[in-house]
Amino acid sequence: MLKGKNILIGITGAIAAYKVLELIRLFKKNNANVKVVTTPNALNFVTKTTIESLSQSPLCIEQFDIKEYKPEHINLTDESDIFIIAPISANTISKITYGICDNLLTSTFCAYKKQVIIAPCMNTNMWENPAIQKNIEILKERGIKVIEPEEGFLACGREGKGRLANINTIFEAAKEYLLPEQILKGKKIVITAGGTKENIDAVRYIGNYSSGKMGTAIADYAFKLGAEVVLITTVDTDRKYKVIRVNTAEEMFTEVKEEFKNAYSLIMAAAVSDYRVKNKSEQKIKKDGAPLILELVENPDILKEMSKIKTNNQIVVGFCAESQNLIENAKNKIKNKNCDFICANDISKKDSGFSSNFNELYIIDKELDIFHIEKTEKQKAAKIILERIYGTSK
């Protein structure tokens, strides 16, 4: 099932370290390649010989054990598809939150750019400590998948939350990331992201606060679902699928029209400016003490124009960012634009939406039925949006 997948497992000095031997066995049983990196204290709970026997790979412990031309922590990040730290102690959680690299495991985490899953294990009082809970929230905001501990009898003799999550739960979370169902295989999906920038002069522009995180998260997950992804974005990004970089609404409109011709679906997650400057200056405008008056003209309504030309076999999804009357405005928008779905979010909320790693959304279809996505990480919201619109969770 996982043949060709490279799994990196990190083990820290927590009492449940021995349980992770079963996780290694599960990955090997499914034909994955497994490498293990531990903190020095982890070897108080599991032995080097046991780990190497199960993983069939040398254990990585020392920070500067350089076998080739690359430092070991860079080798580990380059070679693996996912990094699972289980169990992760309160100490290591705090270190990785603030970028402390005092051993091979924490250095590897700091250099790692792909998906990380952590499964904490500790005493109940430690888990409930405000500092640990704050660190967990920070890591979640950064896209780290946290599999929270379970309640039960702990090694310290107490009952409470702190036990390492079930090994099968950790395994399934990794498998879901590595092997998402290919529901979009062979289908071309065009996705827009970011806020457009309308030039005033050579150095200034009219823009908005959109970071492009939601659109990019949707594009990433669509790619995992097998889609031929085209991301048209105002944000510089390096991806394995096709990315077209634009700045203005007119540039985005041109690219969307071209790419939509043979696409299965269009998802307009970008925050497109409604207006542009009529007579932008090619040079920087100098202050002269007088008010600067800008004449604005309307930009093309990309969502509306694409909905006009779409065929019965194409799906168009819009996004609606509102600061008041969210549902009412979203329902009016889906009627006026004639798209198939609207994803509405409230930008007045400080803990989600623009520039945040979280989002809370309402998906509204042409029958005006509403599906609520409660506040969650944008990566998870992207998964729910795609599955809701294209089939598996309806």
Torsion angle, CA of 279/282/288/293, rounded to 10 degrees?
A: 20
Return the pLDDT at 69. 44
Return the pLDDT at 394. 35
Q: Are 60 and 43 in contact (CB under 8 A)?
A: no
Contacts of 29-34 with CB under 8 Å at 24 or more apart are 30/1, 30/2, 30/3, 30/175, 31/1, 31/2, 31/3, 31/4, 32/2, 32/3, 32/5, 32/6, 32/7, 33/4, 33/5, 33/6, 33/7, 33/57, 34/7, 34/8, 34/9
Surface-to-core class of residue 29, CB atoms within 10 Å of its CB (0-12 exposed, 13-18 middle, 19+ buried): exposed
- Return per-residue pLDDT of the chain as tens, 394 residues: 788 899 999 999 988 999 999 999 999 999 999 999 999 999 999 999 999 999 999 998 875 555 554 555 566 777 899 999 999 999 999 999 999 999 999 999 999 988 999 999 998 999 999 999 999 999 988 889 999 998 877 776 677 788 999 999 999 999 888 877 778 989 999 999 999 999 999 999 999 989 999 999 999 999 989 999 999 999 999 998 999 999 999 999 999 999 999 999 999 999 999 999 999 999 999 998 899 999 999 999 999 999 999 999 999 999 998 888 999 999 999 999 999 999 998 877 776 667 788 899 999 999 999 999 999 889 889 999 998 998 743 3
**d(C-alpha 107, C-alpha 11), whole Å:** 14
Q: Which residues are catalytic?
A: 156
Return the pLDDT at 352. 67
**d(C-alpha 146, C-alpha 199), whole Å:** 42
Query: How, if at all, do strands 358-365 and 370-377 pair?
Result: antiparallel
Give me the half-sphere count of Cα atoms (radius 13 Å) on the Cβ side of residue 236. 0
Q: Which of 183, 216, 196 is nearest to 276 (CA)?
A: 196
Question: Buried b / exposed e across 326-364, counting CB within 10 Å, b at 16+?
Answer: beeebbebbeebebbbbbbbbbeeeebbbebbbbbbbbb
Return the pLDDT at 63. 59
Which amino acid makes up residue 216?
A: T
What domains lie within the chain, and their CATH numbers? 6-178 (3.40.50.1950), 188-390 (3.40.50.10300)
